[in-house]
Amino acid sequence: MMPRMKRLCIPGYPMHIVQRGNNRLPCFHRNQDYVMYLNSLAEMSTKYEVDIHAFVLMTNHVHLLVTPTTIDGASRMMQQVGRKYVQLFNKYNQRSGTFWEGRFRSTLIDSETYLFACYRYIELNPVRAHMVNVPDDYRWSSYRVNALGSKSALVKPRQELLQLSKDPNLRSERYRRIFSSGTTEDDFDAIRFGTNKGLPVGSTQFREKIEVTLDVSLGSGIPGRPRTVR
């Protein structure tokens, strides 16, 4: 058996994280379960200094776009969120046993080429799963915060999002414009593949920079186009 690839994490770099229920079983049964998870995430993201930029809580898995400020912040956050949520979930749903599908999956995202594609990949999950027709109809995601300006103590915008405009209303409008165009199925495939394999998603230069920074060899990595989605 090949050794598990070391998790890639660089403080200040955005990460896409996926946490799945064991055997793809549901992680959330009631509205209160979603609330408990988000409350745990808010608490632990503050404790371990990890900014949450986008999220979606699906029936049997979770997607997050985050930026840690320390090398182990994201890992410690996810471990503690997982443990605390399982304790609460088991208590209120009268269950026991394995809950999560092993360790969470993650990858580094090239903020210059794939950042907004990752926002869209996460917040479009309920639409792609045919749960809702439009993303703002789904309650358990960050779309209403990023695209509609809803207030949130959990979600913090990346600098790239803030640079869309100093005016919050105009920034939301421009985010919606980006959200509705400019991303292809190839982008989603690259994000999905990179997250499953633990490989960075971005340009060749981005992968080379990670190799130098972390002193790792990533091989050919994932093909990426040197472009910025705007």
Arithmetic mean of pLDDT, 177-197: 88
Q: Dihedral sign for Cα 17, 22, 25, 28, please.
A: negative
Establish if 126 belongs to a structural domain: yes
pLDDT higher than threshold 90 for residue 138: yes
User: Is 193 part of a structural domain of the chain?
Assistant: yes
Q: Tell me whether residue 9 is in a domain.
A: no
Residues 6+ apart with CB under 8 A from 192: 121
Which pLDDT tens digit goes with each residue over 80-104?
999 999 888 888 877 777 788 888 9
pLDDT at 4: 57
Inform me whether the pLDDT recorded for 3 exceeds 70.
no
Q: Can you read off the two tokens belonging to residue 133?
A: 């027709």
Cα–Cα distance, 41 to 82 (Å, whole number): 9
In a domain, 165, yes or no: yes
The answer to the question of residue 213 being in a domain is no
pLDDT band at 220 (very low <50, low <70, confident <90, very high): low
Q: Tell me the Cα Rg of the chain.
A: 17
In this structure, what DSSP letter does residue 156 have? -
| 4 secondary structure, DSSP code | P
How would residue 77 be classed by pLDDT, with cut points 50, 70 and 90?
A: very high
Does position 5 have pLDDT exceeding 70, yes or no? no
Question: What residues form DSSP beta bridges with 155?
Answer: 52
Indicate whether 88 belongs to any domain.
Answer: yes
Locate all alpha helices (DSSP H) within the chain, ordered by sequence.
Answer: 31-47, 73-93, 115-123, 125-128, 143-148, 159-162, 168-179, 185-197, 204-214
All residues at 6 or more sequence positions from 110 whose CB lies less than 8 Å from its CB, including other chains: 200, 201, 202, 203, 206, 224
CATH of the domain at 175: 3.30.70.1290
pLDDT (tens digit per residue) in 14-32: 999 999 998 888 999 899 9
pLDDT for residue 228: 41
Confidence of residue 225 (pLDDT cuts 50, 70, 90): very low
Query: Average pLDDT, stretch 201-207?
Result: 92
N-term to C-term CA, the chain:
42
pLDDT exceeds 60 at position 2:
no
CA–CA gap between residue 64 and residue 128 (Å, rounded): 17
Question: Within a domain: residue 55?
Answer: yes
Tell me the average pLDDT of the chain: 90
Q: Quick check: 6 pLDDT over 80? A: no
Domain assignment of residue 223, yes or no: no
Give me the residue label for tokens 């605390």.
Answer: 84
* Count of domains for the chain: 1
| % of the chain surpassing 70 pLDDT | 92
> Residue 33: is its pLDDT beyond 70?
yes
8 A C-beta contact, residue 210 and residue 8? yes
91 in helix, strand or coil? helix
Give Cα separations from 131 to 9, 24, 126, 144, 182 (angstroms): 32, 17, 5, 16, 23
Mean pLDDT of 130-150: 97
Instruction: Give the range of the structural domain holding residue 95, as residue numbers without chain letter.
Output: 15-202
Q: What pLDDT score was predicted for residue 39?
A: 96
